[in-house]
Amino acid sequence: MDKFELKLDQAARAAWLSYVGGLTQDEIAGQLGVSRPGVQRLLALARQEGVVKVHIDHPIATCVALGHALAERFELRYCDVVPANADAPEDAARYLAVAGAKRLAQYVERSEPLTLSLGSGRSVRAAVEALDRVERPQHRFVSLIGNVARDGSSNRFDAVMALADKTGGERFLLPAPVVAESVAERQAMLSQRLFKAIADVAAASRAALIGIGRIDAQATLYQDHFINDAELDELLRLEAVGELLGWPLDSHGAPIECSLTQRVTSLPLSRFGDQLMVGIAGGRDKAPAILAALRGGWLKGLITDEVAARWILAAR
């Protein structure tokens, strides 16, 4: 019999005793008549040779695996993947919100004063709503994207507003529409003292939770009338597939320069290099946009669902 096979036999014995039998390495060493480090090596060999197979018998396991793969591929600090319930699509959105709320809670529950940024998107809003109410007046919450509608009214239902309401923290809202009417208007806004002050607060924030938008006829930017038909057409022509804070990205995640971007009032993406930008979005439709954001390296964290995760990993 082969010398290597004999060793593998021993390794399999050791593996059984360790993983199934539940013995300690010392006991196994006694049983097999080798030293404790010898057992160590046998176990390492058994794992390396694939003799030991571990299976996690729970639906969530595939989600964790997907998240791990995404985190590895795109160098994320973390990636949460929630199950996509095919039977009840509305559940997926709720799962996403709960997962987002969990991450938010990790920050908000801390008692040291903290600055947190929030982007736009229904998912961000839903995450905030899923958060438990907790008194944290010491925190500051900044919106990274304008919350003024075309008609000049402030959006009462902004995520920052909701979060500040829930915690009693301070709120900092960008006093601007997402897209200015003209380049000159944008310049005027950006040079406001208040605007700069808010940008400073945002720069000091620990982390940011932002939505990821798609660019097509169902794009939020378009449906909420932040951009018009002509602007959408231009973006589609330039092959934009997604947007972060209103900044359009191509399929490789590179920012797209165009007439629209001359008038976007959000803080530039490049300003967030050192903070933990977390994207939250899910669903097959948003997958290409998420992939673009990941490829561009803009995100350090991601909260998504199984469907999007699978699509992205399959897209290579």
Partner DNA sequence: TCATTGGACGAGCAAATGATCGTATGCGAG
Partner DNA sequence: CTCGCATACGATCATTTGCTCGTCCAATGA
| Distance in Å, CB of 4 to DNA, minimum | 9
Q: Which among 11-19, 172-180, 188-196, 283-291 is the span making contact with a copy of itself, rule CB under 8 A?
A: 11-19
Report the candidate in 102, 104, 170, 159 with the shortest Cα–Cα distance to residue 136: 170
Q: Which x/- pattern, by CB under 8 A, does the window 77-116 give for a copy of itself?
A: -x-----------------------xx-xx----------
Any contact of residue 217 with DNA (CB under 7 A)? no
Binder among 65, 149, 258, 313 for a copy of itself (CB under 8 A):
65
**140: how many CB neighbours lie within 10 A of its CB?**
20
Any contact of residue 41 with a copy of itself (CB under 8 A)? no
Any contact of residue 40 with a copy of itself (CB under 8 A)? no
Any contact of residue 275 with DNA (CB under 7 A)? no
C-alpha–C-alpha distance, residues 145 and 158, integer Å: 10
Any contact of residue 10 with DNA (CB under 7 A)? no
Binder among 31, 40, 155, 261 for DNA (CB under 7 A):
40
Strands 207-211 and 213-214: unpaired
C-alpha–C-alpha distance, residues 293 and 279, integer Å: 8
Any contact of residue 37 with DNA (CB under 7 A)? yes
Token output for 156: 């009462």
Angle at 261 between CA 164 and CA 244, to 5 degrees: 45
Q: What are phi and psi of 302, to 5 degrees?
A: -145, 135
Any contact of residue 127 with a copy of itself (CB under 8 A)? no
- Within 190-315, strands assigned E span 207-211, 213-214, 240-244, 247-250, 276-280, 301-305
CA distances from 99 to 87, 88, 243 (A): 19, 17, 22
Question: Which of a copy of itself, DNA, none does residue 152 bind (CB under 5 to 8 Å by kind)?
Answer: none
Token output for 68: 């791990």
| Distance in Å, CB of 62 to DNA, minimum | 22
Question: Which of a copy of itself, DNA, none does residue 314 bind (CB under 5 to 8 Å by kind)?
Answer: none
Q: Which among 49-57, 120-128, 198-206, 304-312 is the span making contact with a copy of itself, rule CB under 8 A?
A: 49-57
Contact 155, 162 (CB under 8 A): no
Burial zone of 220 (CB within 10 Å; 0-12 exposed, 13-18 middle, 19+ buried)? middle
Question: Which of a copy of itself, DNA, none does residue 25 bind (CB under 5 to 8 Å by kind)?
Answer: DNA
Any contact of residue 31 with DNA (CB under 7 A)? no
Question: Which of a copy of itself, DNA, none does residue 37 bind (CB under 5 to 8 Å by kind)?
Answer: DNA
Any contact of residue 68 with DNA (CB under 7 A)? no
Token output for 19: 């993983």
Site residues for DNA per CB under 7 A: 18, 24-26, 34-38, 40-41, 43-44
